[in-house]
Amino acid sequence: MAKLSQDDLLAQFEEMTLIELSEFVKAFEEKFDVTAAAAAPVVVAGGAAGGAAAEAEAEQDEFDVILTGAGDKKIQVIKVVRELTSLGLKEAKDLVDGAPKPVLEKVAKDAAEKAAESLKGAGASVEVK
């Protein structure tokens, strides 16, 4: 198999939906027995060494969408959680039942706002941090 350059890989990832990308990350984690979240501190530490730490702390660019309550329309909320994540029915139901829990973590501001609006539209209580 021909080796893909970093630019080629990024171009492929750009074309993926969030759900497809999430499924890829899970498959990658299982295949190589790693956790993507563990790589984040390494990236932050590398950025801090470059002197960009003050700018990164000044403006937050990653947000967490936290489900604080399901509201009256629990089934609708479960459907929205499944749309936003790659969770199965049981996992989505467990997440909604166990609120407050994060639905999405470390996403861009636009994605966090859209997810929060979708969840609020289904009747859920949502917090974006």
Q: Are residues 115 and 65 in contact, defined by beta-carbon separation less than 8 angstroms? A: yes
Q: Please write the tens of the pLDDT for every residue from 52-76.
A: 444 545 567 788 888 888 888 888 9
Q: Please write the tens of the pLDDT for every residue from 66-107.
A: 888 888 888 898 888 898 888 889 888 888 888 788 888 888
Q: Which CATH class is domain 63-128?
A: alpha beta
Report residue 47 as tokens.
């950025």
Distance CA 12, CA 8 (A): 6
Residue 40 pLDDT greater than 50, yes or no: no
Which is nearest to 105 in space by CA: 121, 128, 74?
Answer: 128
For residues 21-48, average pLDDT = 67
